[in-house]
A and B are shown apart, each in its own frame.
Chain A
Amino acid sequence: MARYFAKRIGIMIIALFMIALVTFVIMHSIPGGPFTSDRKASPEVEAALNAKYNLDAPLPEQFLDYVGGLLHGDFGPSYKYPGKSVNDFIYNGFPVSAKLGGITIVFVLLAAIPMGVVAAVKNGKWVDMAVMALATIGVTIPSFIIASLLIYVFSYQLNLLPTYGIDTWKGYILPVIALGGYSISYMARLMRSSLLEVMGQDYIRTARAKGLPEWKVVTGHAMRNALIPVVTVLGPTIANLMTGSFVIEKIFAIPGLGGYLVNSVTQRDYTTIMGVTIFYATFLMVMIFVVDIFYCLIDPRIKYE
């Protein structure tokens, strides 16, 4: 197992290096320098700017400099906002995004697992049908449409919840539902099918035969094994939520990291695009890795070769 994890860490490091390289190459192959604008700056100013940001050095040297900075946690300066560094954006934006994402993950787990369990236990009954219908709708409708619908119904028609901002707890309700909708549906379906499969196994019959009440069979015996596939998709789900929040942050005007990334794309703020992308990718990879370790710990049957 240690070998497997060592291999995983190796792949992760290579992948991160590749990400840094590819983003760097992409950002530097865009025609025009970072200071090209409609107003032509004088050659002296341009030369001074290039010298200040070390842009006159050969590209490989710039890349090594950049990676060296990354290893020290320095993502470089922003070209569009003088005096601001990409680190500032991450410090400001990431806690907001992480809080939204964290609340959503908890909400997703609390909603999806009971939904899936109820659907599986009441297999074929109307509860099952209702949960599955809801889950099918949730998987197919994009989050920004769910968000618009929610705003229209709960903010404009019923006047219950704010349309933007997260100053109060009320502000979190709509973004969390819109962001988590897909994951809830997906996980509820997964939970249902895996619990149904487990419930058909012999050891469940044994548990019933020795006279355990049905709820104990489900929670004590079946759930443990049925949860494993759900844990497996937890990593990709986190990735999904973090990248899905770009849209949700835009709709609800939440000042998170996704908003900074989208802004930097439309403003062509190259170092910010580069830095935030690398930060996101690193964060997501580490999260997926942690989930995999966790997954391996809860299920002793899994032996990685």
Chain B
Amino acid sequence: MDNKWEMLPSSSEEREKIWTKNRTFAGDVWFRFRRKPTAIAGFVLIVLLLLFALLGPMFTKYSYSVQNLEVVNIPPIMKVFDAPDGNGYLYITQSLKVLRVNPDGTLGDQLKKVREESEMSMTIFDCGGTEVGLYYGQKPYVIADPATKVICSSSTVRNASYLLGTDSLGRDILTRLMYGIRVSLLVAFIAAAVNMVIGVLYGGISGYLGGNADTVMMRIVDIINTIPLTLYVILIVVLLGSGLQSIIVALGSVYWVDMARVVRGQVLSLKQQEFVLAAKTIGSSTKTILFQHLIPNAMGSILVTVTMLIPSAIFMEAFLSFLGIGLQPPLASLGTMCNDATANLRTCPYQMFIPALGICLIMFAFNFVGDGLRDALDPKLKK
């Protein structure tokens, strides 16, 4: 086109046409959601944690429950001594035994004890024909040559057999972490789903019916709301006995109150709108109006409430398990792992900090996603 200022013919139809791409509500939400880096980070983190928890156990050769008392409390990064026979390293366990560590970092056999030299404060072990002494006269304990009393040179090695170390019963922490995150997420998702169903039904019915039914139903919610939920969760766990099912039932039955309030508020304002009147005019049943028209429109706030509910459920499960009235051994959850680790926090802090980090990551992830969703779903913030 030579003349850029030439007038083009245009019809009125073309002038009215919306030229930008049509975006659905979900697309719109996704567009705003992904502009928030924290929300995206949380979302990615949740996906990674799910993959870790669901697929991880396929790649591990350990079980979460089988104990191996020979390799108790081995840290992920070990302080080792060079073996005198030149074949790898030696590691002193907390129970004063000596483990051979292969050059690649995997754990080998326990050395055989030869004799006890009490005057020298040494225990003599047999290391491939040569004798080595474990000197326990002072802390930290060292490996020395019993004849010359020269301390073997030490270094640190990554634990290749147990990447995150073992716990106080010799179980692989990495495997337990996978199962722990799995259990924590399972509890949280089921609890959230159950609460969502109860809360949406209760709040929806209460809000839509209105009048006396609404008053009575909301009074009941008021009464439940004054009761500290922690106490009720504890009571339900007492009633059903400790275990996975009772935790799920307990958490599933107490958190719906907030959801019911949110849904009721939404339904109360939505039912005044014209589309409900239109639905009534064409003779839709109450059920259809509630489930086809009102609740889908309230889905935004429902979704936000659910994402915020998941971290509280995870927190409550960890809280109960930490108190010792949640899941029972050998089942692993993040809370029980932290609880098991409190006894030897001084000597093996990694046993506490690894599951603690897991809990923190999950909490961060869900909180960030919840924040992001709330901002994305709020049409007032639409740009």
B169 to chain A, nearest CB (A): 19
Nearest residue (CB) in A for B363 is A140
Residues of A111-142 at the interface with B, using a CB-CB cut-off of 8 Å, are: 136, 139-142
**Does B7 touch A at the CB level, under 8 Å?**
no
**Contact in complex: A288, B345 (CB < 8 Å):** no
B381 proximity list for chain A (CB < 8 A): none
Nearest residue (CB) in A for B366 is A140
Contacts A251-B342, A281-B231; is A262 near B239 (CB within 8 Å)? no
**Does A151 touch B at the CB level, under 8 Å?**
yes
A198 to chain B, nearest CB (A): 20
- Choice from B311, B349, B356 contacting A145 with Cβ under 8 Å: B356
How many pairs, one residue from A and one from B, have CB atoms within 8 Å of each other in the complex?
101
Q: How many residues of A contact B (CB 8 A)?
A: 43
**Does A156 touch B at the CB level, under 8 Å?**
yes
B324 proximity list for chain A (CB < 8 A): 262, 266
Q: How far is the CA of A239 from the CA of B315 in the complex (A)?
A: 16
Interface string of B314-327 (1 = CB under 8 A from A): 01001100111100
B341 proximity list for chain A (CB < 8 A): 148
Q: How far is the CA of A273 from the CA of B233 in the complex (A)?
A: 13
Contacts A23-B235, A30-B239, A148-B338; is A142 near B359 (CB within 8 Å)? yes
**Contact in complex: B223, A11 (CB < 8 Å):** yes
**Contact in complex: B226, A144 (CB < 8 Å):** no
Residues of B304-318 at the interface with A, using a CB-CB cut-off of 8 Å, are: 311, 315, 318
A51 proximity list for chain B (CB < 8 A): none
**Contact in complex: A247, B226 (CB < 8 Å):** no
**Does B87 touch A at the CB level, under 8 Å?**
no
Interface string of A225-267 (1 = CB under 8 A from B): 0000000000000010011001100110000000001100110
**Contact in complex: A152, B345 (CB < 8 Å):** yes
Contacts A261-B234, A265-B325; is A247 near B311 (CB within 8 Å)? no
Contacts A11-B223, A285-B226; is A144 near B338 (CB within 8 Å)? yes
Q: How far is the CA of A30 from the CA of B135 in the complex (A)?
A: 56
- Choice from A29, A148, A247 contacting B352 with Cβ under 8 Å: A148
**Does A280 touch B at the CB level, under 8 Å?**
yes
Nearest residue (CB) in B for A270 is B238
**Does B227 touch A at the CB level, under 8 Å?**
yes
**Contact in complex: A140, B364 (CB < 8 Å):** yes
**Contact in complex: B360, A140 (CB < 8 Å):** yes
B31 to chain A, nearest CB (A): 25
**Does B140 touch A at the CB level, under 8 Å?**
no
Interface string of B342-356 (1 = CB under 8 A from A): 100110010011001
A148 proximity list for chain B (CB < 8 A): 338, 341-342, 345, 352, 356
Residues of B222-279 at the interface with A, using a CB-CB cut-off of 8 Å, are: 222-223, 226-228, 230-231, 234-239
Q: How far is the CA of A274 from the CA of B319 in the complex (A)?
A: 20
**Contact in complex: A15, B223 (CB < 8 Å):** yes
**Does B367 touch A at the CB level, under 8 Å?**
yes
**Contact in complex: A243, B322 (CB < 8 Å):** no
- Choice from A26, A141, A246, A285 contacting B238 with Cβ under 8 Å: A26
**Does B219 touch A at the CB level, under 8 Å?**
yes
A151 proximity list for chain B (CB < 8 A): 345
Residues of B289-314 at the interface with A, using a CB-CB cut-off of 8 Å, are: 311
**Contact in complex: B238, A247 (CB < 8 Å):** no
**Contact in complex: A142, B319 (CB < 8 Å):** yes
- Interface footprint category on B: 35 or more
**Contact in complex: A139, B323 (CB < 8 Å):** no
A281 proximity list for chain B (CB < 8 A): 227-228, 231
**Contact in complex: A142, B234 (CB < 8 Å):** no
Contacts A140-B367, A273-B235; is A243 near B360 (CB within 8 Å)? no
Q: How far is the CA of A281 from the CA of B315 in the complex (A)?
A: 21
**Contact in complex: B359, A145 (CB < 8 Å):** yes
A223 proximity list for chain B (CB < 8 A): none
B308 to chain A, nearest CB (A): 11
B336 to chain A, nearest CB (A): 12
**Contact in complex: A152, B349 (CB < 8 Å):** yes
- Choice from B238, B338, B349 contacting A273 with Cβ under 8 Å: B238
Nearest residue (CB) in B for A182 is B315
**Contact in complex: B360, A141 (CB < 8 Å):** yes
Q: How far is the CA of A11 from the CA of B219 in the complex (A)?
A: 8
A209 to chain B, nearest CB (A): 30
Q: How far is the CA of A243 from the CA of B323 in the complex (A)?
A: 12
Q: How far is the CA of A22 from the CA of B237 in the complex (A)?
A: 14
B227 proximity list for chain A (CB < 8 A): 15, 18-19, 281
**Contact in complex: B239, A26 (CB < 8 Å):** yes
**Does A277 touch B at the CB level, under 8 Å?**
yes
Nearest residue (CB) in B for A148 is B352
A18 proximity list for chain B (CB < 8 A): 223, 227
B353 to chain A, nearest CB (A): 8
A97 to chain B, nearest CB (A): 14
**Contact in complex: A15, B345 (CB < 8 Å):** no
Q: How far is the CA of A11 from the CA of B230 in the complex (A)?
A: 20
A285 proximity list for chain B (CB < 8 A): 226
**Contact in complex: B223, A156 (CB < 8 Å):** no
Nearest residue (CB) in A for B230 is A243
A239 proximity list for chain B (CB < 8 A): 228
**Does A284 touch B at the CB level, under 8 Å?**
yes
**Contact in complex: A277, B235 (CB < 8 Å):** yes
A144 proximity list for chain B (CB < 8 A): 318-319, 322, 338
B234 proximity list for chain A (CB < 8 A): 261, 265, 273, 277
Given contacts A19-B227, A247-B319, A281-B231, 6 further A-B contacts (CB under 8 A): A11-B223, A30-B239, A141-B360, A142-B359, A243-B230, A246-B319
Shortest 6 CB-CB contacts between residues of A and residues of B: A243-B230, A140-B363, A145-B356, A15-B223, A26-B239, A15-B226
- Between A and B, 9 residue pairs with Cβ closer than 8 Å are A14-B223, A15-B223, A29-B239, A136-B367, A156-B345, A265-B234, A277-B234, A281-B231, A285-B226
